Structure 1
Amino acid sequence: MGILHQEPLPLPDLRVTLEDTFLVFPSQETERKSIFLSNIDQVLNFDVQTVHFFPPHPDFPPSVVARKLQNALSEVLVPYSFLAGRLSLNKELGRLEIDCNSAGAGFVVASCQHSLDEIGDLVYPNPAFRQLIVQRLDKLGQHDQPLCIFQVTAFRCGGFAMGISTNHSTFDGLSFKMFLENLAAQAADKPLPIPPFNDRHLLAARSPPRVTFPHPELLKLKLPVGQDQAPPAFDCQEDDLDFQIFRLSSGEISSMKEKAKAGSSATGVKVTGFNVVTAHLWRCKALSCDTGNLDRESTVLYAVDIRQRLVPALPRSYTGNAVLTAYATAACRELEAGPLGRLVEMVAGGAARMTDEYARSAIDWGEMHKGFPRGEFLISSWWRLGFGAVEYPWGKPRYSCPVVYHRKDIILLFPDMDDDGVNVLVALPAKEMELFKTFFHKFLLLEN
């Protein structure tokens, strides 16, 4: 229970050398067309990087893996033709779209002078892991950057890292996991297990748009859509923040769930691992602000998958972003005094609010106003996405994780390496971090 690491790792520089950089094109000709991006996709024009670590394999040294991945990527770029395209702004409509022009995905071959074991605990959010990702290709112009770039980095021991940078407008977490499964199948010369469904008009706004709910979780934009500036929400400097990882074991989470069930007066509340962890973190984060005003309201934001909440449901293989931001709001006094079960009810209620009509209203709100999520902080969960369960010809990853940027207003949930527990990354100013730690342990003792 508690903090995994308090000191920085001894390897701030992984001494990575880029050996080769090139473009990978679809293995056969694909149709030239424009891909419609939904209002959810529109506001996610930023890159997301993940790193997947693999131990040495006698039959698959890094050079062989790089060739197999290059070939598999070329094959998978046929059904995923938009990944070989480029983002463009349709000036007539004022919307971003993807030009499926077969301009190619990026591919980088690199080497590291350290062994995999020498780079430290893979769960630790080492800023040096950014060296395992290439975000842009310098030889290409600003408007010709690939939407997807792979980097295969060979370690001295024979292990390797597969770093992938994708523009978030292309995938959400679930559809990226399906992409990895399809990529792994192609690398093994097997058919696609989940052929992608690429038509994003299923999440188009209604005509005319109908906003039938208030949406306090959304903030109107003052900038025209497509303009390359950071969103006004969650725009905190990384400087002067302490960061810690807190681990909750599967046993602790189970105890929290039992405590929440016993303390809930509502019927039919979903007491899930995510809901109890979110409720616990919400309370700790809100109270750590130390404003002294217990009447202050705190709003926590978290993503909800809407695939099965829509009528009719989206196809399982839908490739776009199909998540919307749910929220829960309460006064700090209630968060401090309320039993865990009551807080879980509020978190679960935020997700239950996401019906077909609410989701359509939020999408239509985006059509009318353009905007971003608004709240005190966001919980971004990579816990159950299952990237580490993907089976490649060379086996499953030892660990898969995003490359993190420490942000006061975002708390990240990562899977644990050994059991079904969760690792929680928190970044706060030093004084707030001390308070957060105090509340984290205090309430955890009460909840177990």
Structure 2
Amino acid sequence: MEVKIVSKKLIKPIVATPDSLRKYKISCMDEVNATMNVVTILYYPFNQFYTYKGIIKTLETSLSRILPRFYPFAGRYIKEHHTVDCNDAGAEFMEAEVDAYDLKQVITNLEPDYLNELLPLEIGAADEITDPVCAVKVTKFRCGGIALAASVSHRIVDACSMGIFVSAWAEEATLREGQSRTIHPFHPPRTFLARIFLLKILESGGPEKVRRLCARGSYLTPRPSLPLGRGLATFPACNQG
């Protein structure tokens, strides 16, 4: 399946991150995580009530509005300091298209190679200063359906917090005047593990032991209610040895 990149841009937070939050120190457990991104792909069939340009505008605008609440997502990870520089460099937003396939052909087969083509970044494209912490890719299919893929560094999120981010983004995209937000903003990690505990983990197996906890396979779940219609969400799992 050939996926053609149409455009690529950086979406910056609508409000600048204050200096007091500029340095985001990751937790000691996140330091030994595998170098990878947590990803999800949301599928939406063609919906005659929404235009493609309108969808893109809504996604870009709502992402810009949600980034101040998830401020490390617009920063860049500094590997040697185990810190995210929350410099508002922006989340990467890509548009792509597939001319030879319909959305139904992809979601009925779920071939790993097809899924990888829909991702904005490779699973292991993390930890470098040039790697965006958060990236999004919208792929339009021949039938008019779309795949919305999101990728966030595993240094910052796990599958659960990725779900919170996507749900908060969906809520922002569909928020009406007078409605209040129900999902809480992002908070730094608490000191829930002492360094001595981390040393015990390293002594008993090190990062490889942590990596083996990663699940393998793909998982189908109901997608959040973005203004795009009905669909499915796929979470490609990591494939670490």
Question: What's the TM-score once normalised by structure 1's chain length?
Answer: 0.46
Residue 58 of structure 1: which of 48, 53, 78 is its match? 48
Which amino acid letter does the alignment assign opposite residue 371 of structure 1?
G
The answer for the alignment partner of 1:135 in structure 2 is 121
% identical equivalent positions: 23
The answer for the alignment partner of 1:89 in structure 2 is 79
After TM superposition, give the deviation of residue 89 of structure 1 in Å.
3.5
Residue 48 of structure 1: which of 38, 49, 52 is its match? 38
Residue 182 of structure 1: which of 163, 168, 184 is its match? 168
Structure 1 residues 26 and 375: alpha-carbon distance in aligned structure 2, compared to 1, 3 A threshold: closer
Residue 225 of structure 2: which of 391, 398, 408 is its match? 391
* Cα distance in structure 2, aligned partners of 1:163 and 1:378: 24
Structure 1 residues 75 and 383: alpha-carbon distance in aligned structure 2, compared to 1, 3 A threshold: same
Greater relative CO (CA pairs within 8 A, separation 6+)? 2
Structure 1 residues 148 and 30: alpha-carbon distance in aligned structure 2, compared to 1, 3 A threshold: same
* Cα distance in structure 2, aligned partners of 1:376 and 1:134: 23
Q: Is 1:196 matched with 2:31?
A: no
* Cα distance in structure 2, aligned partners of 1:376 and 1:49: 16
For the 8 Å contact 1:62–1:159, the answer to whether it is kept is no
Structure 1 residues 376 and 175: alpha-carbon distance in aligned structure 2, compared to 1, 3 A threshold: closer
For the 8 Å contact 2:8–2:95, the answer to whether it is kept is yes
3-state SS of 2:144 partner: coil
* Cα distance in structure 1, aligned partners of 2:159 and 2:210: 21
Q: Is 1:371 matched with 2:211?
A: no
Unaligned runs of 5+ in 2: 123-127
Equivalent positions of 1:258-297 (< 5 A) are none
Which amino acid letter does the alignment assign opposite residue 119 of structure 2?
I
Which amino acid letter does the alignment assign opposite residue 147 of structure 2?
A
Q: Is 1:145 matched with 2:135?
A: no
After TM superposition, give the deviation of residue 42 of structure 1 in Å.
1.0
Residue 75 of structure 1: which of 65, 83, 86 is its match? 65
* Cα distance in structure 1, aligned partners of 2:184 and 2:25: 19
* Cα distance in structure 1, aligned partners of 2:49 and 2:143: 14
Unaligned runs of 5+ in 1: 1-12, 137-141, 210-360, 410-448
After TM superposition, give the deviation of residue 372 of structure 1 in Å.
1.5
Which amino acid letter does the alignment assign opposite residue 14 of structure 2?
S
Which amino acid letter does the alignment assign opposite residue 206 of structure 2?
G
Question: What's the TM-score once normalised by structure 2's chain length?
Answer: 0.82
RMSD (Å), alpha carbons: 2.9
For the 8 Å contact 2:23–2:85, the answer to whether it is kept is yes
For the 8 Å contact 2:59–2:173, the answer to whether it is kept is yes
Question: How many residues are treated as equivalent by the alignment?
Answer: 229
3-state SS of 1:73 partner: helix
Structure 1 stretches (4+) deviating beyond 3 angstroms? 366-370, 375-379, 381-384, 403-407
3-state SS of 1:174 partner: helix
Give CA-to-partner distance per residue, 1:371-426, whole Å, 9 cap, x none.
22439965617888x85242222244x2222345766x5xxxxxxxxxxxxxxxxx
* Cα distance in structure 2, aligned partners of 1:101 and 1:163: 24
* Cα distance in structure 1, aligned partners of 2:31 and 2:156: 10
* Cα distance in structure 2, aligned partners of 1:171 and 1:74: 19
Structure 1 residues 392 and 364: alpha-carbon distance in aligned structure 2, compared to 1, 3 A threshold: same
